Structure 1
């Protein structure tokens, strides 16, 4: 991992985990995104995990990773958070996660497998949580499991079935679930757009939300905002952004992420 600790920290300091895409790296994602200048002004810690696979993808397919304390990349990342809390004075009550593509998939896995660790998540151009799961896939495969059916938007489930999948990672957990922010482009040809409504179905079920409202050209022209339940874009439990004509991937909106996280 690559950890960025600004000179001036809040005490205790919020923690943001920012997860890179395939063919990416921790330091690469640090330079591609603009979270560090915001960390300087707002005093939060950033953890950039680095994939161990040769292709730079994260394990979002194995039973180990899709289980609370089951091993795999998800537990490794959860351990990074514990490290930052102990070593740098991170705030265990203000831990957030974001990522792009493979990192967006991992973001949702973290929200599903470690709801006791993360308070909110923002995923850019991913797939539903667990959509890449392959029975028999192991955390040691390189690259980690890939599902063409899921990538092509051909995996559909009921909201209940998607929700049950996420809940299966941590049986018996009855605590608060992370708030979720999802971004996807309608012209995505790598992880097809159909994954977006499927992911919204999933998290609406996990969070117990049914009503939603759409607002066009928000937060910018061509984007449609969907808010589930009560609250606004910064306080609602689930928010989606559909980006008309945008491919893979939706540009990172760092300031909106931090507003959603309450940093």
Structure 2
């Protein structure tokens, strides 16, 4: 584990909490990205910087709302950068990990934009250049591995949730599901081949490379679980380590951890297999474990230091997306549900359902979805799925059951079959 960072003793939550702020001019921005930053009111003079990156279809504000990094920033006094990607490659709002420009150090696209954001925080808030970290989910996890490969001189460590190895995608055509050799399971390279890709990203680098923490659900079919092993092989080869872990344990139920340490006992690669999880990370407590791996908390917590967010995530880690649903007038009665198709590809599609309260608040909701034959829901987020095709039931989860009068919440899903609009019902107890 990397050395523990200096943390201000007794950081307290201020009476008026900090807020997410958009920065419209932060420097060179070849990726055309948006930047949001969360700066805790109580922080050291030179705070650490964490770059937290969303999945396809998401946004910086969405990842701010749906993850625990901002609450941890309040607790430990680091600054969080939330980039919003705008690249399109079959999906929308994905971090560019496929283009030649993005795979070349200093080549342009999103990596250069992210570096500009980091420089802005260093200038504006005194961010510590020796304590810069990367983390992200799905597309953001892929970009985490990309940034560690391209810029080991910038980042101190990284934590990638549901990512893929650096240089896994050949080009933009290789990115969308159904067409991708990378996420289609065809990328079985040797550890040395994976490691060579990283070494060639910055051939002149002679310093200490940043340790990496990896997370993946064993039931993930969207970014298949087997890619965790490919990523382990990449980074262990980069560090000159065996692919056999130096230790294994289960720090929490269902969290199977493998650690790969060097001859000094320093953990360089740490990999979590989350039993039964699909494409839905990070879940409660995982951000805290990532921050502990970075050395920003003192010791890894055994329970989440914060409660799950009260604002539900509005986009999943790998949704493509776009414009928000059109404004719906207030409805009467318990609740209503509306559907929009977010994206489609050969053999599958992604949908999003907005659940809206009527003129009175609701405390719990149940949505029925009935599809034409041949449609099977394979992944769902922000709800609990039951049933089998063509009829499904989705119930709220703990953090999004209560909806204020005329308010709304969103759940999303991935499905196989021909893209089609389901018949919807909504009921509230």
Q: Distance in 2 between matches of 1:48 and 1:232?
A: 35
Partner of 1:73: 110
Highest CA radius of gyration, 1 or 2? 2
Higher helix share: 1
Partner of 1:260: 293
2:140 is the counterpart of 1:103:
yes
Structure 2: tracts of 5 or more residues without a match: 1-34, 297-429
Candidates 224, 248, 251, aligned match of 1:192: 224
Confirm or deny: 8 A CA contact 2:174 2:180 kept in the other structure. no
Candidates 37, 59, 64, aligned match of 2:71: 37
Going from structure 1 to structure 2, the CA distance change for 1:231 and 1:6 (only over 3 Å counts) comes to farther
Partner of 1:113: 150
Q: After the TM superposition, which segments of 4 or more aligned residues of structure 1 sit over 4 Å from their partners?
A: 230-233
Shift of 1:181: 0.2
TM-score (norm. length: structure 2): 0.57
Candidates 55, 63, 66, aligned match of 1:21: 55
Q: Which has the higher contact order (CA 8 A, sep 6+)?
A: 1
Matches within 5 A, 1:46-85: 46-53=80-87, 55-85=92-122
Higher strand share: 2
1:193-239 per-residue CA deviation (whole Å, 9 max, x = no partner) reads 110000000000111211414534x2211221110025999x51110
1:156-215 per-residue CA deviation (whole Å, 9 max, x = no partner) reads 111111011111111211111110000011110100011000000000011121141453
Instruction: Name the SS of the counterpart of 1:151 in structure 2.
Output: coil
Q: Distance in 2 between matches of 1:104 and 1:197?
A: 15
Matches within 5 A, 1:177-188: 177-188=209-220
Confirm or deny: 8 A CA contact 2:241 2:262 kept in the other structure. no
2:165 is the counterpart of 1:128:
yes
Shift of 1:152: 2.2
CA RMSD, Structure 1 to Structure 2 (Å):
2.0
Going from structure 1 to structure 2, the CA distance change for 1:144 and 1:44 (only over 3 Å counts) comes to farther
Matches within 5 A, 1:221-236: 221-230=253-262, 236=267
1:28-60 per-residue CA deviation (whole Å, 9 max, x = no partner) reads 000000111111121110001110135111100
Structure 1: tracts of 5 or more residues without a match: 138-142
TM-score (norm. length: structure 1): 0.91
Q: Distance in 2 between matches of 1:46 and 1:78?
A: 14
2:239 is the counterpart of 1:207:
yes
Partner of 2:190: 158
Q: Distance in 1 between matches of 2:81 and 2:275?
A: 31
Matches within 5 A, 1:136-147: 145-146=175-176
